[in-house]
Amino acid sequence: MSKSLFTAFLIALTIGGLGFIDTLRAGAGQSVNGAPPVISSVSPISATRLQTIYIRGSGFGNTQPITMSLGDGSIDTVGGGKNMPGGGNTPVMQVNNYARNTWGSGVRDSPDTGWCSIGIFLVSWSDNEIVLGGFGSALSTTGQGEWTIMPGDPMRVVVITPI
């Protein structure tokens, strides 16, 4: 039985404030392109649904992630194990909010579930830059609704690549 290993890098930031960088690795080794992913910067994330977010760094890989449409034009990157498309051998990313109503966006981790059903608009993916066009319609910016984004919310960006 083969086991997929991944290496991940995350950056945490606050809407309207500064953040901190932390590293998270699952498994050991290097990514498919020879180096673990490193996030060097994330452009400011605002409390709006549609926005341009630049995630810059290295080691993201030039392999495009497998994606799944959520029906509103947004997508989830598809991760997980051998029962998922790509078999866990393509990169995934997620943007998480750890505020009043914890939510995550952009990742489908099993055939039947995504975290909160909030998609991302993936504009481009390269080894050194990922560009997002914001979040899907399941996200509220009014403070009303199940999942919201508000000024001051702590955010985390995670890029995971297979190794």
pTM above 0.85, yes or no: no
- pLDDT in the model for residue 149: 87
- pLDDT in the model for residue 55: 93
Residue ranges of domains in the chain: 6-138+153-162
Mean pLDDT, rounded, of the chain? 75
Instruction: Give mean pLDDT, residues 52-63.
Output: 90
Q: How far is CA 25 from the centre of its chain?
A: 15
Going by C-beta distance under 8 Å and a sequence separation of 6 or more, which residues neighbour residue 113? Answer: none
